Amino acid sequence: MTASPTHSLPLSSPRAQILVGVALATLMIATRGQHFATIDRLPSASWAIFFLAGALLRPMWMLPLLFVLASLLDIVSLASGTIGDWCLSPAYWALAPAYATLWLAGHFYARIHRDRWTTLPRLALVLAVAALATYVFSGGGFYFFSGRYSDPTLAGFAARIGQYYPRSLGTLAGYVGTAFALLAIVRGAGALRTAQQGARA
């Protein structure tokens, strides 16, 4: 984020939209599950990918497209035996509203974003609320509806929030912060190049 002009987050040029879409899909392939293209030891970027898709990409069809990609990667990992079927239950479909929440949060943040450091508290607040709502859908759906827990209770779920939410938020914030830092560098380089070209004219 630079200190001067404000920008809306969605990138305007078709070429930029394609590049970002391909980059997000590649990141999904590289970090989700365990399969032939997974990069070991990287935490899943799935939450951040849906948030960034909402913030940076204009086509709404990217939301279902990314969900289909995530599901296919899970199926491939299951079929190859690299993951078990513990997480694949009827509650799997709770991921749909969970990922939609992240996409909507990214879309909302894009409208209030400013290319100034003072926008960081806004981003932090949106990420914190989005991560909590997402965990309620995904973690709550799995806990209450997967059939993996014999006696799910609200108290039991509250304990799981305290255990898993901070890590999920940290991973989300790490990927989103890195993406926005790269975006700021690209935009800064573009602005510098434009200024230099103007000075030569």
Q: Is the pLDDT of residue 38 over 90?
A: no
Domain ranges, residue 101: 14-200
Look at residue 24 in the predicted model and tell me its pLDDT: 96
pLDDT band at 198 (very low <50, low <70, confident <90, very high): low
Q: Which residues contact 2 (CB under 8 A, 6 or more apart)?
A: 115, 116, 184, 187, 188, 191
Alpha helix stretches (DSSP H) within the chain: 14-31, 46-56, 62-79, 95-112, 120-145, 154-200
Position 2 in a domain: no
CATH number, residue 188 = 1.10.1760
Q: Which residues contact 188 (CB under 8 A, 6 or more apart)?
A: 2
pLDDT band at 55 (very low <50, low <70, confident <90, very high): very high
Look at residue 7 in the predicted model and tell me its pLDDT: 52
Position 185 in a domain: yes
Position 1 in a domain: no
- Distances from the Cα of 112 to the Cα of 20, 125, 151, angstroms: 20, 12, 42
Q: Percentage of the chain surpassing pLDDT 70?
A: 81
Look at residue 51 in the predicted model and tell me its pLDDT: 98
- Residue-wise pLDDT for 178-197, tens only, equals 999 998 888 777 666 666 66
Q: Is the pLDDT of residue 110 over 50?
A: yes
pLDDT band at 117 (very low <50, low <70, confident <90, very high): confident
Position 36 in a domain: yes
Position 112 in a domain: yes
Look at residue 32 in the predicted model and tell me its pLDDT: 86
Look at residue 1 in the predicted model and tell me its pLDDT: 43
Position 5 in a domain: no
Most confidently modeled range among 22-36, 50-64, 76-90, 181-195: 50-64
Position 113 in a domain: yes
Look at residue 116 in the predicted model and tell me its pLDDT: 84
Position 79 in a domain: yes
Averaged pLDDT, 137-152: 90
Tell me how many domains the chain contains. Answer: 1
The more confidently predicted of residues 15 and 38 is: 15
Mean pLDDT score of the chain, rounded to an integer?
A: 85
